[in-house]
Amino acid sequence: MTYVDGFVLPVPKKNVKKYIKMAKFGGKLWKEHGAIGYKECVGDDLHMKGILPFPRQIRSKSNETVFFSFITYKSRAHRDKVNAKVMKDPRCATMPSLMPFDMKRMAAGGFKVVVDPFKRK
C-alpha cells in the first residue's frame, strides 16, 4: 500500500526562493534514497468559500504564502527506511540550520493511500 508524508507550511514571501532551493535539494536526497515521488506546491487558489482554507488553518500572515508538500513511498516501512537513509546522509547536515520558515508552524503527518485510480497494476 502506497504511503505519503504530507506537509502544509507558511513561508514568508521574501523567503520563497530560499525555500524552493532547499526543497530542490531535499527532493534530490529523498529520490536518491528511494522515495517514489516528491512534490512541492505553492498556494494559488487558497480562499475557497464554504471550507476552512489552509491560510486560516495554519494562521498564515499577509506576508506569507502556503506550501503543500508531499513525499510518496511504497509503504510505511519503506518510508521509515528512506527517511533513516536521508537523515544519515552527510549532505543532510549541509541543509541550513535556520530554515526559511518557522518549523513550529508546519503541519505534517503520514498517510496510507486508500484510493489511487491512477496506480498502475
Q: CATH code at 54?
A: 3.30.70.100
**Predicted pLDDT at 74:** 96
> Does residue 117 lie within any of the structural domains?
no
Mean pLDDT, range 75-86, rounded to an integer: 97
> pLDDT grade, residue 73 (50/70/90)?
very high
**Predicted pLDDT at 42:** 96
Give the total number of structural domains in the chain: 1
Cα of 48 vs its chain's centroid, Å: 22
Return phi, psi of residue 7, to 5°.
-140, 140
- Determine if residue 59 is left, alpha or beta; phi over 0 gives left, psi from -120 to 50 gives alpha, anything else beta: left
**Full domain range(s) for residue 25:** 3-112
Does the pLDDT at position 37 exceed 80? yes
**Predicted pLDDT at 19:** 94
Does the pLDDT at position 3 exceed 90? yes
**Predicted pLDDT at 84:** 96
> Does residue 73 lie within any of the structural domains?
yes
